Amino acid sequence: MSSAALLTIGALVDEMAALLSSTHGGAETEEARELLALQFDKPRYWPFSARDLEVTAEEHARGIRAARRRASGAPLQYAAGRAVFRHLTLSVDERVLIPRAETEMLVDIVLDRTRDVRGGIAVDVGTGSGAIALSLAHEGRFDRVIGTDVSLDALVVAAANAAAAAGRSCAAVEMRHGSLLGPVTERGLRAVVSNPPYISFDEASSLPPSVRNWEPPIALFSSNNGMAATVHLVGEAAMALAPNGLLALEVDTRRAILAAGAVAAHGWYQDVQVLNDLTGRERFVVARRREERE
C-alpha cells in the first residue's frame, strides 16, 4: 500500500481496523470509524462519507495511536482523547471520568429548575473534565459558574476544555482547586450541582475493567460505604446556598434513598426528591434550601 493511499480517511479506517481485529473481531471497522469521528469531532457516519478525504501525517499518526490504545483495552473516549457531552466535545483522558448520559440528565434537571430567573452563581463540585460546569455556563441562565476539584490533574483538563469553549458561554467560568465547596467563599449560591464519588472501596472488584482499570479512583470511590463525599457536600451546600437555592446530586442507584435521607435529615432542605434516570433507576437527589432550619 502506498503512502498516498495511507493518507486518506478510508485507508486510515482500514489500517485502524486491522489493529483492532484481534480485540473487536466483527466490529473493528465500525470501531475504527467511531474513533475517527470522535477525533475529528464529526458525526459517527462521517468517516464513511469522507472516505476519500486526505489526512495529514499527524492525523494519521493520531488515528493509529488511538487504535492501538483501544486495542490495549482503553475505553473508547480515552483512546480517542475526546468525549461528546450534550452540545460539547471535550478533551478527556485518565485524569478525569468519562462523561456519561446520566450526567447529561443531571444538567437537564438543573436547567429546568433554574430557567425562570437569570443571574447568580452555580457551582459544579468535582468538575472533572468540566462537563457539567461548561454545560451550565453554555445553556443556563447564570452569571457565573465555578467548577471545583480536589485533583489538580483534573483541573488541567477542565481548564483546557474551558479555554476551548471560551466565547460560546453565556456565563463566566472559573475552575478552582480544593475539596468539595472548600475553595468557594461566595455565599448565596443559586445552585450546587455534583456527581460526587459514591462507590464503596469494597465494591471495586465488581466494577467493569474499563472503569476499574482506567478511570481515576479519586473520582470513583468514597469512604463510609460510598456516602462520605455526598454527606459532607450536603452539609457544606446548606451553608453556601441562598434560600430556595437548588441542590442537585447524581447518586448511586443503590444508595439514592440513603442520600435523600441525608438531605432530609439535615434540616436546611425542603422539597427533597429522588428522580429516576432514563432506565427507570433512582439516580438523582434534588432539594431546595430552606429560609430557616427546622
Average pLDDT, the chain: 95
Residue carrying C-alpha cell 485507508: 11
Alpha-carbon distance of 11 to 15, in angstroms, equals 6
Alpha-carbon distance of 240 to 190, in angstroms, equals 9
Q: Mind listing the pLDDT tens digit for each residue in 1-57?
A: 444 455 899 999 999 999 999 988 889 999 999 999 999 999 989 999 999 999 999
Is 207 a residue whose pLDDT tops 70? yes
Provide mean pLDDT across the span 66-80. 96
Q: How many CB atoms lie within 10 A of CB 203?
A: 15
Q: Given this model, what pLDDT does residue 100 score?
A: 94
Q: Given this model, what pLDDT does residue 242 score?
A: 98
Q: What are the helix and strand counts (H, E) for the chain?
A: 13, 9
Q: Mind listing the pLDDT tens digit for each residue in 282-291?
A: 999 999 999 9
Provide mean pLDDT across the span 207-221. 95
The correct answer on CATH 3.40.50 for the domain covering 3-77 is no
Alpha-carbon distance of 277 to 251, in angstroms, equals 11
Is 243 a residue whose pLDDT tops 90? yes
Q: Given this model, what pLDDT does residue 2 score?
A: 45
Q: Given this model, what pLDDT does residue 6 score?
A: 57
210 pLDDT tier (thresholds 50, 70, 90): very high
Q: Given this model, what pLDDT does residue 168 score?
A: 76
Provide mean pLDDT across the span 119-123. 97
Fold of 83-289: Rossmann fold (3.40.50)
The residue extents of the domains of the chain are 3-77, 83-289
Provide mean pLDDT across the span 113-142. 97
> Contact, 189 vs 240, CB < 8 A?
yes
Residue 280's contacts (CB-CB under 8 Å, 6 or more residues apart) are none
**C-alpha 196: how far from chain center:** 11
Name beta bridge partners: 286: 248, 273
Relative to beta strand 172-177, strand 144-149 is parallel
Name beta bridge partners: 191: 122, 246
Q: Mind listing the pLDDT tens digit for each residue in 180-201?
A: 999 999 999 999 999 999 999 9
